[in-house]
């Protein structure tokens, strides 16, 4: 069984602050993929980033960066210099051998001007 | 044009009515999925299909049925709608193999009175 936990329900920041979203996962598979999705107020789900279990290198893509640590089963996501347009619900998700995508409950980010 | 489309985008219906939600994709993906999202919750898998002849139940399939009419089309039916099926419904697609990254349609907001 797979499980994804996002302990933070809501985060509120002022524009230009950094925001870090926590994600902890559980899986018995050794090969798996982790994702972050964004759901803006308009409701659609947008794929942001993906990381496989064999690559713990942390990366930066524009204002997004992620920290993947297998030792603590964590896949944290950071938005640098937040903007009002970053206000959304962010979902962490996991897929493994069965190809089913398991979602966390989501973290609502509010960026105030 | 959007790669994954869902119709209708919004629907209000009454208890006991039969409802069909449709999903079409132009991404050429083999795999298609139906999820529901309830307020404050992540997404739950209803049904998934890895090809036209392969359909599988997800976590919450009771009260739902699906039809994979073609590689590009996957419809979800509520045979007799009930109020607790009021939710946001998403269709998603992915390519076979690899990371199985899923790409989502814009969602259908269904209200059952």
Three-state secondary structure along chain B? Answer: CCCEEEECCEEEECCCCCEEEEEEECCCCCEEEEEEECCCCCEEEEEEEEECCEEEECCCCCCEEEEEEECCEEEEEECCCCHHHCEEEEEEEECCCCCCCCEECCCEEEEEC
A31-46 pLDDT, tens digit each: 999 999 999 999 999 9
Residue that wins the pLDDT comparison between B73 and B99: B73
- Across the interface, of B43, B100, B109, the residue whose CB is closest to A95 is B100
Interface contact flag, B101 A103, Cβ < 8 Å = no
Q: Which residues of A touch B46 (CB under 8 A)?
A: none
Q: How far does A106 lie from chain B, in Å, by closest CA? A: 6
pLDDT at B40 exceeding the cut of 80: no
Residue that wins the pLDDT comparison between B53 and A100: B53
């Amino acid at each position: 069984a797979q499980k994804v936990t996002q302990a933070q329900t809501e985060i509120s920041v002022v524009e230009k602050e950094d925001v870090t979203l926590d994600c902890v996962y559980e899986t018995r598979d050794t090969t798996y993929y982790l994702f972050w999705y964004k759901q803006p107020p308009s409701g659609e789900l947008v794929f942001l980033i993906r990381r496989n279990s064999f690559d713990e290198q942390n990366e930066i893509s524009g204002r997004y960066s992620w920290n993947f640590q297998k030792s603590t089963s964590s896949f944290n996501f950071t938005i640098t210099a937040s903007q009002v347009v970053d206000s959304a619900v962010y979902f962490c998700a996991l897929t493994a051998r069965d190809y089913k995508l398991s979602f966390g409950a989501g973290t609502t980010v509010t960026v105030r001007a | 044009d959007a790669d994954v489309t869902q119709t209708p985008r919004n629907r209000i219906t009454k208890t006991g009515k039969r409802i069909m939600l449709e999903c079409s994709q132009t991404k050429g993906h083999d795999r298609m999925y139906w999820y529901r999202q309830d307020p404050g919750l992540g997404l739950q898998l209803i049904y998934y299909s890895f090809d036209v002849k392969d359909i599988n139940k997800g976590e919450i399939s009771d009260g739902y049925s699906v039809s994979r009419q073609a590689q590009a089309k996957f419809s979800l039916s509520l045979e007799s709608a009930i109020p607790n099926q009021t939710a946001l419904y998403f269709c998603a697609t992915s390519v076979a193999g690899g990371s199985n990254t899923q790409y989502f349609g814009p969602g259908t907001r269904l209200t059952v009175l």
